[in-house]
Amino acid sequence: MKVWLLVVLLLVSEALENVIGQQPPKNKRPKEPGENKIKPSNKKVKPKIPKIKDRDSPDSMPKTQSIMIQVLDNGRFQKPAATLSLMAGQTVELRCKGNKIGWSYPAYLDTFKDSRLSVKQHERYGQLTLVNSTAADTGEFSCWLQLCDGYICRNDQAKTSSTYIFFTEKGELFVPSPSYFDVVYLNPDRQAVVPCRVTVLSAKVTLHREFPAKEIPANGKDIMYDMKRGFVYLQPHSDHQGVVYCKAEAGGKSQISVKYQLLYVEVPSGPPSTTILASSNKVKGGDDINVLCTVLGEPDVEVEFRWIYPGQKDERPVTIQDTWRLIHRGLGHTTRISQSVITVEDFETIDAGYYICTAQNLRGQTSVATTVEFS
């Protein structure tokens, strides 16, 4: 009897557990069909704002792409460093990637362009080859890609390369100069360079005045040394004039450069300062007349003259002569005087009128005129 009672109680307990397990949990409602089963979150999410690159930031600016390689003796290739030191006599071969390449090299090499120097353009690269190199070839070699539209080309500034090559030669610490004495003009409005360039990268170079004898310090303020250019006068003035030379020391040896005469220029840069003067402004028939055009300018700036005169349309024969010379105006100031004179012989009525002289230099041109009458 007790056994049956125990069995009945167990069955009733199990039935109650099943009924309770099937009841929906408290505080929950039955989900509607199609309702999202993901539990909504109350967290606040920060919206991500995409970063916009500044157009003027360094990352957005086009970077210069190196296009130059050096061909070594063993046939291998390498990107040349900013400076190279080679023994004189070695062959140099440089290649730059591109179907149209422009080159720049020391001006001295233009003399040997057909013999020691060769520049060729291949389908995919430009090639520069220098054989039998000498200390005088020391300088910068550069190349750039040219972008052409028909006959009009421009340089691609993003694709350019350069290397400065020192050609070391026994007994030559300085890059040889074509003369034993040179002139450097000191202009107050621009830098002046004493071109003491060396062939040994490690050479110590100093600048010296001949009289009174002393070393001129390159302090970086008034004067600085640039191994690719020489001693640079940053702000030339009249106190710098005189005779100077350079001294180089390397490997226990020393050498003196050629001498340089520093001349101060008093004439400011600009278009020619021009005057015109006739030998007479009233001329009788049959007489001769001269009209003189004069320019005072910088010693190293050339001037070209052009004339317009009354008998030009009738092809009246005239004589035109151009000359120039350096003049010293006290305290070592040096000026270049350039002149052009037009001569008309056996003056006629067709020679009367305006004589116009135009003088031109790299910075502009100036026209002046005078009248000559028939009397």
The pLDDT value recorded for residue 41 is: 47
Model pLDDT, residue 9: 61
pLDDT at position 358: 96
Average pLDDT over residues 107-120: 81
pLDDT bin (cut points 50, 70, 90) of residue 35 is very low
Mean pLDDT, residues 213-228 taken together: 90
Round the average pLDDT of the chain to a whole number and report it: 83
In angstroms, how far is the first alpha carbon of the chain from the final one? 169
Residue 2 confidence class, pLDDT cut points 50, 70, 90: low
- Structure token pair of residue 282: 């009233």
How far is residue 344's CA from residue 280's CA, in Å, rounded to a whole number?
12
Q: What pLDDT was estimated at residue 333?
A: 60
What are the structure tokens assigned to 66, written together?
């190196």
What is the tens place of the pLDDT at every residue in 134-185? 999 999 999 999 998 888 888 888 899 999 999 999 889 999 887 788 888 8
Count Cα atoms within 13 angstroms, Cβ side, for 55: 0
Q: Which of 241 and 34 is assigned the larger pLDDT?
A: 241
Q: What is the pLDDT of residue 56?
A: 47
Contact 197, 228 (CB under 8 A): yes
DSSP one-letter code for 174: B
Q: Is the pTM of this model over 0.75?
A: no
Contact 103, 185 (CB under 8 A): no
Q: Name the region of 17 (left: φ>0; alpha: ψ -120 to 50; beta: rest).
A: alpha
Q: What is the mean pLDDT of residues 289-318?
A: 90
pLDDT at residue 16 in the model: 53
With contact defined as beta carbons under 8 Å apart, do 246 and 218 qualify? Answer: no
d(CA 295, CA 329): 15
